[in-house]
Chains A and B, each alone.
Chain A
Amino acid sequence: MRAVGIILAGGNNRKMHELTAKRAVAAMPIAGSYRAIDFALSNMTNSHIQKVAVLTQYNARSLNEHLNSSKWWDFGRKQGGLYVFTPTITADNGYWYRGTADAIWQNLDFLRKCHEPYVIITSGDAVYKMDYNKVLEYHIEKKADITVVCKELGPDEDATRFGTIRMNENCRIQEFEEKPMVAHSQIVSTGIYVIRRRQLIDLIEHCAEEERHDFVTDILIRYKNLKKIYGYKIDSYWNNISTVDAYYQTNMDFLKPEVRNYFFRELPAVYSKVSDQPPAKYNPGSVVKNSLVGS
């Protein structure tokens, strides 16, 4: 295997209000039948990435319950598997994850022990389908240090809750602003990155020495003139669900036949934990209109 996967699913999110009072954003139900993290996990397994670490911290009970077996996503192999990492106290660390880079740093042994040359990093709160191998091929072809998967939002969409990006004609990233007050670009980072494993270990170690903890501000933005950081633009469906409005809109998107078709009927499939519920039953007098029902 050419890559290991890291899914960042630890973040707290005040923008979700009560919805995430009892669960992590990555455990939010989507389209009646899924949890948000199912999309990242399914993409990993469908891209033949067999070794995946999920980094969780905030309110992880519901998420851990969802991940209590790895077989639903076809992990649980002798070569690879699904690893769930919550912060632990060790001889040289007594902190919670202080940021995305710190979360990776605290689990650096996992990366050191891997033999796969590349790492795919993604977040657990986005709804999309992606073959990471395509991004990896692009990454190799560009001889990039880091590749950032990005998407151009529509002119009316709010880019200020994302990292906004400007690239040159070769797609090398020239400007990267994290959650700017005013967005100068509608191209946003999806939080999906490809990076060589050795490179990532070096950058993360360096970060930790400097007491820096955030992957975006302390690595992507800080190194963008030094390292070759490229953008990989996608046109396919991608939505981050981490605000109440975005969560609602993403769910409503599944009422569109083309979205359902793309996610549910086109292969590869999206997997989830099997719940063993009987099929939905509609008793006399039921009225259901333009709705999704999961069971």
Chain B
Amino acid sequence: MFKKEMIAMLLAGGQGSRLGVLTAKVAKPAVAFGGKYRIIDFPLSNCINSGIDTVGVLTQYQPLRLNTHIGIGIPWDLDRNIGGVSILPPYEKSSNSEWYTGTANAIYQNLNYMETYNPDYVLILSGDHIYKMDYEVMLDFHKSNNADVTIAAMPVPIEEASRFGIVVTDSESRIKEFEEKPERPSSNLASMGIYIFSWPVLKEALIRLKDQPNCDFGKHIIPYCHGRGDRLFAYEYNGYWKDVGTLSSYWEANMELIDIIPEFNLYEEFWKIYTNSANIPPQYIAEQGVVDRCIISNGSEIYGEVHSSVLGGSVTIGKGSVVRDSIIMQGVTIGENCVIEKAIIAEDTVIGNDVIIGIGSETPNKTKPNIYSGGLATIGENSVIPSGVQIGKNTAISGITSIEDYSGGVLESGETLIKAGDRI
């Protein structure tokens, strides 16, 4: 029988709807980050760097990009004879076939997968955070406390604490209370959604709560374990950890990478982040090109100016164009004499010549003010922006747009322009 001390279950099935058009066609963990990476690269790299070589990735929403990205796990050294990475989508059963209805329900539906490896501990991860963590240290903490469940938690500003699951601990880090998104938080220690369970405890809880609708770790499993008196501990983490669930936080986290010494440093030899990247060719900076305080990935061609931006691979910036404070993802082509400020432009979008993005005032978005905010212009993957148009702030565009879609050649701040159909 196979034996793995600890296996990881990585929840990667969520849409991440607050990322708007960025997640229209891909799951949030597959969204590009930091030029050449995707969000899921961070937990996957953490796993292999922590010595965990068996990882189940639970997918559900738009899994194609994730599946092709992960493949058999070669970039993360997760192609193994025994273990390695396995993609775990929902599947049909002889009775009672269902989608994953909650985080814990998804894990419950894969009891057989976990059973195969006969683990002592199971690490539950989510695929939408940017951080570096040694799960092995967390496991040592779990063992030394003889814990049943260990929750990674970090201090957050008390005024933000009500957005998180909050743990209240005693002096030995044992959790006395667990509050999911409390109105009046009694502590500022927020759960990071990273759990280590001793396997028998997890298995028992999942089976016991199997009929709980939308069974969720934060809402059901943890309170259940706490309620029956299990030993729950909080593992305090004080490093960089960023939830990139909103467009503003996603944009900020990218922009932080271009600081001279960023808080989250990709340039350390220790604890490398691995990714599946087809972009091998060098990048080319032309005679008139300007690259100033930016990150640029392989295969890009810069004929214009790039300031304070993060560029993916195989991006082309045309002559005379200026890109500032923006995230430009892989394969985007920007024509000549464009001015692009504070924009997020997703994969393979084509932007014509003389396009100006980021004009006007910060009018809130008319349809989804909570999503398209922060003055950003967000353009979905495979979109086309015709030459000569101007685009305002807090806007969203997706699809193949033509000049007729822009009244007077302008998309005013706060407008949304979604066109159906794919580019051929």
Contact = CB atoms under 8 A, between A and B. Distances in A.
Given A281-B267, A284-B260, A290-B287, A33 B281 contact: yes
Interface string A271-295: 1101010111111111011111111
B284 A255 contact: yes
A183 interface: no
Nearest to B266: A278
Contacts of B332: none
A255 B282 CA distance: 11
B374 interface: no
A257 to B, nearest CB: 8
Interface string B250-285: 000000001010000011000011110110111111
Contacts of B295: 278-282
A278 B267 contact: yes
A279 B36 contact: yes
B89 interface: no
B75 A280 contact: no
Given A31-B282, A293-B282, A281 B258 contact: yes
For chain B, what secondary structure do more than half of its interface residues adopt (helix, strand, loop), or is it mixed? loop
Given A33-B298, A279-B35, A283-B260, A290 B285 contact: yes
A22 interface: no
Nearest to A293: B283
A279 B277 CA distance: 11
B72 to A, nearest CB: 10
Interface in B184-227: none
A32 interface: yes
A100 B34 CA distance: 47
Interface in A127-160: none
Contacts of B297: 279-280, 295
A270 B287 CA distance: 26
B419 interface: no
For chain A, what secondary structure do more than half of its interface residues adopt (helix, strand, loop), or is it mixed? loop
Interface string A43-82: 0000000000000000000000000000100000000000
A243 to B, nearest CB: 22
A162 interface: no
Interface residues of A, number: 34
B263 to A, nearest CB: 15
A85 interface: no
Contacts of A260: 281, 284, 301
Contacts of A285: 292
A279 B258 CA distance: 11
Given A264-B299, A278-B36, A278-B267, A292 B283 contact: yes
Interface in A220-277: 254-255, 260, 263-265, 269-272, 274, 276
B286 interface: yes
Nearest to A33: B282
Contacts of B287: 289-290
A288 B306 CA distance: 12
B3 interface: no
Contact of A293 (B34, B75, B277, B285): B285
A286 B280 contact: no
A186 to B, nearest CB: 31
A25 to B, nearest CB: 20
A270 B295 CA distance: 24
B281 A31 contact: yes
B300 to A, nearest CB: 9
A34 interface: yes
Interface of A: 31-34, 71, 254-255, 260, 263-265, 269-272, 274, 276, 278-286, 288-295
13 contacts: A260-B284, A274-B280, A278-B267, A278-B273, A279-B34, A279-B296, A279-B311, A281-B258, A284-B293, A285-B292, A286-B292, A293-B282, A293-B285
Given A279-B35, A289-B287, A289-B289, 15 more contacts: A276-B275, A278-B266, A280-B295, A280-B296, A281-B294, A282-B293, A286-B291, A286-B292, A288-B289, A288-B291, A290-B287, A292-B283, A293-B283, A294-B283, A294-B298
